[in-house]
Chains A and B, each alone.
With several copies, the nearest count.
Chain A
Amino acid sequence: MWDYTDKVREHFWNPRNVGEVENPDGIGQVGSLACGDALRLTFKLDENKRIKEAKFKSFGCASAIAAASVLTEMVVGLTIEQAEKITNQDIAAALGGLPEQKMHCSVLGEQVLEKAIACYRGRPAGAKEEKMICECFSVTDREIEKAVRENR
């Protein structure tokens, strides 16, 4: 099993920026094939095209919650180009490290950010994308079930 750093605990117990940004400029949602969890990120830019606000929702373990929480803090004030450079290693480092078995939870963070940025670049965000995002997750969900079946 694993033991968490104080930073992970702190973010898990007092997660920052839980919820959804209103009228987001970017939306991303991912599911983890490894453990079957889901993470959703929404963000909004200010007039200088810097991230003004970011929020998350998570159906995941303590690491996933902490990773998302710290990510929403890390991206604020960054340009899209800067935010894009954030890797899961950066996220884990910001948490003082993650147990090896939980590194993939920080990968969720990196992926969700990628998705949200792609969404921002691809088309203006809106209610439609939100629906599509969910459909997309159910695809992932099916993939998970397939993976589980194959692993039996």
Chain B
Amino acid sequence: MNRIYLDNAATTQAAPEVIEAIQTCFRETYGNPSSLHSFGLEARGVIESARRNIAGFINASSDELFFTGSGTESNNTAIKGIVYSLRGKGDHIVTTAIEHHAIHEPLHFLETQGLKVTYLRNDDNGQVDPDDLKKAITGETILVSVMHGNNEIGTLEPIKELGAICRERGVYFHTDAIQTFGHIPIDVREMNIDLLSASAHKLYGPKGVGLLYIRKGVQMTPLLHGGGQEKRLRASTQDTPGIAGFSRAVELAASEMEKEAGRQSRLRDKLIAALLEAVPESTLNGHPKLRLPNNVNMSFACVEGEAALLNLDMEGIAVATGSACTSTSLEPSHVLTACGMTHELSHGSLRLSLGRTTTEEEIDQVIKVLPPIIAKLRAMSPLYKKQGAK
């Protein structure tokens, strides 16, 4: 069976060119980038050229770019780094209700240490209101962190506008761009961004490599203390092959992004329209227009997400769900809940995230396979019959 991978928001398959670059680096450039000898020099060359390349991609300068070990590490470094370095100045952070756990969890940890956090409300489409941000910032606020694109419902936030507010109020602005980096354009200067996180494996690069953009002049405490790598901001022997792979992934993104965003948006909209049409009591989650080009997130009333996911898996189709039953905490997705969704609907949510290799035939196959699965599960559901009888 030809399998259909529609979970590119969870992770992507590394591009063949990326695997090639990693492989070459493993074979040829294996020195420690901190070493003085020629093996070290060569490794440093690979890393610095990657840094220049990736910095250019988001209009940063290369000394503003720091490599980390994951998107989560970038987020943790940004949040804790600013808090530890500015604790004298204030103890308040503003964020939104729908951030990734890699933002919420470090904040919860810091809350146990006395930090105060305002979680801005998102509207039913998942967007925050810039006016709410204006009201939330106080004299104690040291950081605002708002994600660029949401990983579950795909909604894009008005980063440039939020960044401008922060700039005006003299507060640092971080954005978790892990879902958007390499998928839609980012210009850190134009968008008023002080700190930005990205993760290579979301754009056909390797897992275990992230980056943190830190605007020149922003001071922060490191999270990983040790050797002098990454200008002392992130100790650890750099992952030269991983960084080379990340760089190659960015090159590919730079050349294909526009075309791919167009192509995937079209397939996305086709899939959404077809499912809304074919499945009664189905709804689209997230913003109808301002959303990631590859994100489809829908709720099917009275259907449990894990059951739908596993049925699709049987048919060779890989998707994700925000159902409570699949989260280890047994709570439904905090994102869907924050967008005002009832427990019941969020239970039956599925996320289908497209990728570079997704074809029209694959989308057609999903359109064919998914509706009968929903019908079958509804036939089993004690809730649906009642509603049907209404």
Contacts and interface: CB of A to CB of B under 8 A. Distances in A.
Interface of A: 1, 3, 12-13, 15, 18, 29, 34-40, 57-65, 101, 104-105, 134, 141, 144-145, 148, 151
Given A13-B314, A36-B343, A29 B326 contact: no
A101 B328 contact: yes
Interface stretch (B126-134, B277-285, B330-338): B330-338
A12 B377 CA distance: 11
A62 B336 CA distance: 22
A118 B323 CA distance: 31
B387 to A, nearest CB: 11
Contact of B330 (A13, A34, A145): A34
Contact of B380 (A29, A35, A57, A144): A57
A29 B381 CA distance: 12
Nearest to B385: A57
Contact of A61 (B307, B381, B386): B307
Interface stretch (B33-41, B71-79, B146-154): B33-41
A39 B304 CA distance: 12
Contacts of A15: 380
B224 interface: no
Contacts of A57: 380-382, 385
B43 to A, nearest CB: 11
Contact of B382 (A39, A105, A144): A39
B194 to A, nearest CB: 25
A58 B332 contact: no
Contacts of A13: 314
B44 A37 contact: no
Contacts of A18: 379-380
6 contacts: A1-B36, A34-B330, A38-B382, A59-B303, A59-B382, A148-B337
Contacts of A1: 34-36, 40, 44, 326, 328
Contacts of B234: none
B364 to A, nearest CB: 24
B290 interface: no
B188 to A, nearest CB: 25
A110 to B, nearest CB: 17
Contact of B347 (A37, A65, A104): A37
Contacts of A59: 302-304, 347, 380-384
Contact of B306 (A61, A134, A141, A148): A61
Contacts of A58: 304, 380-382
A7 to B, nearest CB: 15
Most chain A CB within a 10 A radius of its CB, from B347, B379, B386:
B347
A96 B368 CA distance: 34
B314 A36 contact: no
B337 A60 contact: no
B73 to A, nearest CB: 21
B382 A36 contact: no
Contacts of A37: 304, 325, 347
Nearest to A60: B304
Nearest to B346: A36
B344 interface: yes
Contacts of B41: 3
B310 to A, nearest CB: 5
A29 B330 contact: no
A85 to B, nearest CB: 25
Most chain A CB within a 10 A radius of its CB, from B41, B343, B379, B383:
B383
Contacts of A36: 324, 332, 343-344, 347
A148 B327 CA distance: 14
Contacts of A34: 324, 330
Interface string B355-390: 000000000000000000000000111111110000
Nearest to B311: A13
Given A59-B381, A65-B380, A144 B34 contact: no
Given A58-B381, A65-B307, A148 B323 contact: no
B328 A61 contact: no
B164 to A, nearest CB: 31
A36 to B, nearest CB: 5
- List the 4 closest A-B pairs by CB distance, nearest first: A61-B325, A40-B382, A57-B382, A61-B306
Contacts of B343: 36, 141, 144-145, 148
Given A1-B328, A58-B304, A60-B307, 19 more contacts: A1-B35, A1-B36, A1-B44, A3-B41, A3-B44, A13-B314, A29-B382, A34-B330, A35-B325, A36-B343, A36-B344, A59-B380, A59-B382, A59-B383, A61-B304, A61-B325, A62-B307, A65-B380, A148-B343
